[in-house]
Chains A and B, each alone.
Chain A
Amino acid sequence: MNIKLLLSDIYWVFWREIKKFLQQKARLMMVVIQPLIWLVLMGNSMSGLTRNPQAAQMLGTGNYLDFMTPGIMIMTALFGGVFGGTTIIWDRRTGYLNKMLAAPIYRAAIPLGKLLSIGLQTVLQALIIVIIALFLGVHFKTGIPGVIALLAIAGLFGIIMGGISLSLSSRIKSMETLMAVSNFLTMPLMFTSNAMFPTNAMPAWLKGIAMANPVSYAVQAMRTISTQGWIWHDILPALAALTGIMVVLVALAIRLFSKSVN
């Protein structure tokens, strides 16, 4: 294997996805508007909660928006990543996939380039959320290094969801089915996590699920960084678990994709 050529192939697949992403004006608008709505609407309607001292204690912060910002970042990463596989189905349908496969490029470069672009898109979206949150008065305790860490975790999570989606798209050939399966996955993942509500406020059975849900690891690590500080014994295990999950899913996506085109 020629690493230089592999990297070049990944780069061009990535370049294509990013160029297309930047061309879609309506999609870029949504990237800004969606988190804005979430933060302003949810933030306002839920801020009453934090006036209740017991609730404030459960949230671990006096400001619901502080609590919620990492949750919104992960939710955006989740929704962005989980539809990443649709691009493969689309490429298969338009014939562009065959065009790439007839070229002398490494097969693995196709899923890797797409995942990288999903990662970058997620980071950009997360950055926009941070900017909006700053305007709304959210305080990031660890400052710029903390924000960089938040963006990195969001990107990591986007790649995880993209890995799931790309793996599915190697087996599922119809857009409708992939959309249905993706929706089926995202809702439970979201609502059985600590993204919106503190686990302390959950019934015991839901708390158990929430603790095992990878969405919660990501949100918890991010929340610790943004509201409490660099508490490494909280952050590191979550990061290790997320990295492990990512490696497995990326490998699975490459394997299933390579099998599907042979």
Chain B
Amino acid sequence: MKTIIEAQGLTKVYSGGILAVDNVSFSVNQGEIFGFLGPNGAGKSTTIALLTTLLSPTKGTATINGIDITKHPYQARLELGFVSQDLAVEDALSGYNNLRLQAGFYHLSRTEVHDRIAEVLKMVDLTGRSKDKVETYSGGMRKRLDIACGLIHRPRILFLDEPTLGLDIQTRREIWKYVNTLREKNNMTIFLTTHYMDEADSLCDRIAIIDRGVIKTLDTPTALKEAIKNEVENPTLDDVFLHHTGKEMREDFTTKEESFKARNNIRRARR
């Protein structure tokens, strides 16, 4: 199987001296849905920001389809699509114009733009509403449009940072359906983070659990559950998660100031 993301000793120390990601190495295979789970402040968002070239690593590097993200960030960006948890679509513009703008950012030629927009609109079932302003869309439609934006340049890898955050259960299911279709029909690799364990369990081929900047475990959902069978009867992924990250709520910085700074940094990285 072909490796499409390869992280080698990825490390990020923020300016305040906070170690957000600590020497992380892992690889993701082409065509798999890779789940990246962890408690708040564990280093998920920082890792995504590093892999999508929004931040540069303090140490280590990663390759995206063979392209080194520190040496050739520009080329790496062409290989990846990034859909943040922020629902970053322009309300004042139509769905079509949101995609037109995105196509412009990826330098698609004028002749192919129209077909490409039609293609991604179809993928997320928004063809009929493309001329309407986004402010008239529902939350689920906005998310689908956001995903379509991430697909406009036909990336090999799609990064989805908590794609179902704040959506109701029906809409969440709908989004997962689209994610599954993308993988099956387009052989796309999907790297996603989520806080919903049931979803990660049913969707992901493999799951990594990160905590305090370190990868605690990485395997298929079945194997992860299997591994703690001796401790918990009929373990769910929730049990796996708690087993690896502990049961306390997170305030894992010694002083108040430190924790504030860390949160701020994570927020800054996300923005």
Residues of A at the B interface (CB closer than 8 Å) are 5, 8-9, 11-12, 15-16, 19-20, 23-24, 92-105, 173, 262
Contacts of A93 in B (CB 8 A): 271
- B residues 89-112 touching A (CB-CB < 8 Å): 90, 92-93, 97, 101-102, 104-107
Please measure, in the bound complex, the distance between the C-alpha atom of A19 and the C-alpha atom of B90, giving whole angstroms.
10
Interface contact A12-B54, CB-CB below 8 Å: no
Interface of A is mostly: helix
Contacts of B86 in A (CB 8 A): 94-96, 98
User: Residues of B within 8 Å of A, CB-based: how many?
Assistant: 30
| Distance (whole angstroms) from the CB of B98 to the closest CB of chain A | 10
Interface contact B53-A102, CB-CB below 8 Å: yes
Point out the residue from B75, B82, B93 that lies within 8 Å of A23, measured CB to CB.
B93
Please measure, in the bound complex, the distance between the C-alpha atom of A11 and the C-alpha atom of B82, giving whole angstroms.
22
Please measure, in the bound complex, the distance between the C-alpha atom of A93 and the C-alpha atom of B270, giving whole angstroms.
9
Interface contact A103-B271, CB-CB below 8 Å: no
Interface contact B56-A262, CB-CB below 8 Å: yes
Interface contact A94-B88, CB-CB below 8 Å: yes
Contacts of A92 in B (CB 8 A): 271
Most chain B beta-carbon neighbours within 10 Å: one of A12, A19, A95: A95
| Distance (whole angstroms) from the CB of A59 to the closest CB of chain B | 43
Interface contact A98-B84, CB-CB below 8 Å: yes
Interface contact A95-B107, CB-CB below 8 Å: no
Interface contact B271-A12, CB-CB below 8 Å: no
Interface contact B88-A95, CB-CB below 8 Å: yes
A19 touching B106 in the complex, CB below 8 Å, given contacts A95-B270, A102-B54, A104-B77 = no
Interface contact B74-A12, CB-CB below 8 Å: no
Interface: B200 (CB within 8 A): no
A16 touching B90 in the complex, CB below 8 Å, given contacts A95-B270, A99-B84, A102-B54 = yes
A19 touching B104 in the complex, CB below 8 Å, given contacts A98-B54, A98-B86 = no
A8 touching B107 in the complex, CB below 8 Å, given contacts A93-B271, A98-B82, A99-B149 = yes
Interface: B46 (CB within 8 A): no
List, sorted by A's number, 24 A–B pairs whose CB atoms are closer than 8 Å: A5-B107, A11-B104, A12-B101, A16-B101, A19-B93, A20-B92, A20-B93, A23-B92, A23-B133, A93-B271, A95-B85, A95-B86, A96-B88, A96-B90, A99-B84, A99-B102, A102-B80, A103-B105, A103-B106, A104-B75, A104-B105, A104-B107, A105-B105, A262-B56
| Distance (whole angstroms) from the CB of B51 to the closest CB of chain A | 10
Interface: B164 (CB within 8 A): no
Contacts of A9 in B (CB 8 A): 105
| Distance (whole angstroms) from the CB of A25 to the closest CB of chain B | 11
- B residues 21-68 touching A (CB-CB < 8 Å): 52-54, 56
